Amino acid sequence: MRHYARILAGAAVAAFMASSSIAAELSIVHGAVGKDNEVLRAELDRFEAATGHKVTIVSMPESTTDQFGQYKLWLSAGAGDIDVFRLDVIWAPQLAEHFIDLKEPAADTLDQYIPSTLAGQTVDGKLVALPMFIGAPALYYRKDLLEKYGEKVPSTWAELKATAQKIQDGERAAGNNDMQGFVFQGAAYEGLTCNAMEWVASYGGGNFVQPDGSIEINNPQAAEALKMAASWIGTISPKGVLNYKEEDARGVFQSGNAVFMRNWNYAYALVNGDDSPIKGKVDVSTLPSGGEGLKPAATLGGWELAVSKYSKHQTEAIELVKFLNNYENQKERAIVTSRPPTLTAVYSDAEVGEKQPFIPLWKPVLDGTLARPSAAAKRKYNEASSEFWTAVHDTLSGNGTAEENLAKLQAKLTRLKGSQW
């Protein structure tokens, strides 16, 4: 009996020591848009309450291109200040060596994930990051305006242009001079790559680097797609769209000054939020296609959580990553921030379906998303993407024709690739 008591006492002391010595200070870095920061903070508060660790959020600018530069700098310096990084879906191949393999630590939960989301984060057999949420674009439209003008949701880009033009002209004639037909992400950065990939693919023009690494972007379908997009500038889209990122586009759309918007899922919860002037007037659909018989395309986005190899608290950081990706938190994000979850089960959750009907509907779209060629272009992906967005941005701003810019792009990508990516 005394022996038993001693064991108990010993266990209590051990538990006490463990809980006091484990209490770690962690840092998580992410680039927030919309309500990301508030929701993450709330989740971290729950994590802190449950474990006793402290977690600080380090915020980054909105532009993913800027985030990447900073992360790469920190990681190359081997800085241990940040324990958990929120990574863009395309970064795993470029940053793999700086993160720990999550295959073992997360083994118990891996079968709950949508398999394709894990495949994208696996580099040479190493699971670099755990998918936090998926990003897929939607065509946001003002259902009140479509109804008013007796138009239906466009299924091709040409229809979108005609509808946008009609409503824009009508609304401007009625006194709203600020009305725009269509806003999207046209600034020269990674976001334009996502937008333009959708245009090109929906016209059957392939990708700027094909999955097998070959380069066939200089084709008539791609040129047609870019010409279409260039024809929007100054007609249905303001010239300023050439420097819009996600939040600029949302700003215009949410203040009621645009008929259509291409944006990621996060915007849905915001444009339909209580403080939104267009609450209840917005619906979403898949993006249009290039024409009859062509399929629309949606670029796969999304964010992943990775644990830095240089972290001094790897065990706790893994715990945090798994906590943030658990069912309850994914469900909360799906409802509050309209972020599509990475766990299969959340899609069939009744509460999610009721509060955010758009999430379950998105499942089929997610299954057919278009991945950016980060796996094919490897460490040269950023440069390849930059060449692509430059060619597109030039075409949109009238600096050379689509054909000229695509021919140049083809040559530049071929040179960049060299003998192999």
Angle at 272 between CA 266 and CA 276, to 5 degrees: 110
Assess 76 for contact with another protein (CB under 8 A): yes
Q: Is 390 in the site for another protein (CB under 8 A)?
A: yes
Out of 80, 170, 213, 240, point to the residue binding another protein (CB under 8 A). Answer: 240
Query: Which residue's CB is nearer to another protein, number 86 or number 98?
Result: 98
Q: How many CB atoms lie within 10 A of CB 309?
A: 14
123's tokens: 């580099």
- The reply to whether 168 sits near another protein by the rule CB under 8 A is no
- DSSP at 187: S
Does position 277 bind another protein by CB under 8 A? no
CA dist 328 to 35, 113, 367, 419, Å? 17, 14, 23, 48
235 binds another protein per the rule CB under 8 A: no
Judged by CB, which is closer to another protein: 245, or 333? 245
Taking the least distance from each CB to another protein, the nearer of 66 and 159 is 66
Distance in angstroms between the alpha carbons of the first and the last residue of the chain: 69
Q: HSE (CB half, 13 Å, CA atoms) of 209?
A: 29
3-state secondary structure of 307: strand
- Contact with another protein (CB under 8 A) among 102, 133, 393, 413: 393
Applying CB under 8 A, the span of 5-13, 213-221, 222-230, 381-389 interacting with another protein comes to 381-389
In whole angstroms, the minimum distance from the beta carbon of 135 to another protein comes to: 21
Q: Where are the beta strands (DSSP E) in 99-166?
A: 122-123, 126-127, 130-135, 137-142
Tokens, residue 64: 């993913």
The sign of the torsion formed by the CA atoms of 113, 114, 117, 118 equals positive
Q: Which of 40, 53, 55, 68 binds another protein (CB under 8 A)?
A: 68
Return the structure tokens found at 105.
């630590």
CB of 221 to another protein, least distance (A): 26
Site pattern 321..350 for another protein (x: CB under 8 A): ------------------------------
Residue 231 as a binder of another protein (CB under 8 A): the answer is no
CA distance 145 to 150: 8
Report if residue 72 touches another protein, rule: CB under 8 A. Answer: yes
CB of 341 to another protein, least distance (A): 30
* Nearest to another protein of 238, 302 (CB atom): 238
Stretch that binds another protein, among 135-143, 283-291, 326-334, 393-401 (CB under 8 A): 393-401
Strand 25-31 relative to strand 54-60, pairing: parallel
Contact 220, 164 (CB under 8 A): no
**Residues ≥6 apart with Cβ < 8 Å to 380:** 416, 417, 421
**Binding residue (CB under 8 A) for another protein from 182, 189, 232, 421:** 189
Task: Verify binding: residue 178, another protein, rule CB under 8 A.
Answer: yes
For residue 194 the two structure tokens come to 């996502």
**Left, alpha or beta for 331 (phi > 0: left; psi -120 to 50: alpha)?**
alpha
| ∠ Cα 161 227 392 (to 5°) | 110
372 binds another protein, rule: CB under 8 A: no
User: Is residue 185 within the footprint of another protein (CB under 8 A)?
Assistant: no
Answer yes or no whether residue 63 interacts with another protein by CB under 8 A: yes
> What does the binding site for another protein look like in residue numbers (CB under 8 A)?
63, 65-66, 68-69, 72-73, 75-76, 94, 97-98, 178, 180, 186-189, 238-244, 248, 251-252, 255, 257, 379-380, 382-383, 386, 389-390, 393-394, 397, 399, 415
